[in-house]
Structure 1
Amino acid sequence: MKTQISRKLRMPLSVIIALCLHTSVIFAISFSFTPTNPKLPPALDVIIVQSKQSDEKIKDADYLANTSHEGGGEFDTNKRKKSLFQSFEDTKMNGIAQIQSQQQIKQQQQKKTKLITAQQADKKIQSSDKPEQNKSLNNSQQITQPELTIARLTAEINKDIQDYSKRPRKQFVHARTKNTPAAAYMHNWIKRVEFMGNKHYPTEIRKKNLKGSLILVVAIKSDGKVLEVRIKKKSGINLLDQAARNIVYQSSPFAAFTGELKKNSDILYITRTWQFTSNTFR
């Protein structure tokens, strides 16, 4: 009877003992894996903001700071604010921000606070002066600009009128001119010139028996004095050209303008053909 019981228990006991042995072996053995590139935990960015600029809550913040602050700067993408005293270790830690001491932070805050206060004071002074200056300038411009424009245009018009009024009234007359006061004056002028020319006919021209013709333009002022003598077409003989000039000046002064001629003319230009024959001038 005992032999049968022991045989029946032998198999379960063997299984239990085997399980215990395997379990002890499994727990006794441990495996460890060393990663080739250990990953560091993500860095936490903490930024010290010197002044509070926004009271609104920002939903998607890029960094942690002591106060809410809207981003700004010269970069299109988010950039970590770097310390002025960045160490060599910081560059080898792949982006882990360097923690500054409380004393350094306090000193920087004091310096920046003083600088910001000074700049704000200057801006307030300048901004308080600018409105008054701009207001006075705008008022003066609004008042004086139209007046200056009108004054300038008036001065230009007056100058043009004065210049035009100062310009001498000129009239031109020649052999084919109709019966006008200017033509009548020219007729009397020709008589005087021919008389004085034949009276003072140049002796040298008579001796050399020089002949020729020229076109002369004589400008006479309203008082009868000669303003200008100009040869329009030369005779080809300098002695004849010069003699014609001399005859004009010898015949002057001529009669002063009268009547309608004086009313309408300040200068009369007479164009006339001069002819020298052997002994006469006409």
Structure 2
Amino acid sequence: MGKTARYALEWGVGLSLGLHALLLTVHFVMPDASHFKLRDRGLDVVLVNSRHAQRPDKADLLAQSNLDGGGTGEKGDKLATPLPPQDSSQAGTGLVEAQRRSEQAETPQMQAMTTARSKASIASDTRQTNPVDTPRQASGYDLLDSSAAVARIEAQIDKDLVDYAARPRKKFIGARTEEYRFAQYVEDWRQKIERVGNLNYPPAARGKLYGSLLLSISIRADGNVKHVEIQRSSGNKILDDAAVRIVQLSSPFPSFPDAIRKDTDEIVITRTWKFTNADVVRTENTE
């Protein structure tokens, strides 16, 4: 082998060894996952159990479906405190009966919400305090399913509480003593009812029938009648129907003044109606 060829071979071997030594100093590591951690704060989404075809103009919360809830609540809070109980210490028996039925209708719903909340809390506490009691370690899918179930229950409870707080603010009027701001409105209501009633006294009852009944009338803030309910019948369908018809003929009543409208959406007036043997209609406070 010539000198030139040997010289080239030595340079080639030396260069190869140098490159291999350089490659041995190079290290590859996995990238730090924390650098790719998402910094999105997330979205607050609730689950609703109904939907509307029309999308609301201004949504208070995000949900899986469009839902225009309406209501009269002043704030669009997710959670709300149920309304305080009405003071019935001065109410008559007719008013107390109306309030009692209203509370009985609400009690099953509130009990159901309380039970669901308790079950959700117990399920969550059991997973946290007794992990050893489970026969096997829960998988990620199991935890996700359980968390989703709890979230659905709590979302429904929150919706029920919001609906509860958004109910119309009612004032029950049936006792002898009433707040001054309601007294004038009720007096105007009485005068109109009796005037219309005497002008439209039932012909079938003139000189023949007389009696009394207990009637509750729900009036909205705009003066329109929302509901009429006979709390105690007169025992005669002609007189009962005549009382309801007189209310319908008298409607609408005056709108609520500002002093009432500021904290009241609905007034429930409970009165004893008397059809006398003189063919006159009178309304009186409940005893």
TM-score normalised by structure 1 residue count: 0.45
Q: Whose helix proportion is higher, 1 or 2?
A: 1
Bigger RCO of structures 1 and 2 (CA < 8 A, at least 6 apart): 2
TM-score normalised by structure 2 residue count: 0.44
Which has the larger Rg?
A: 1
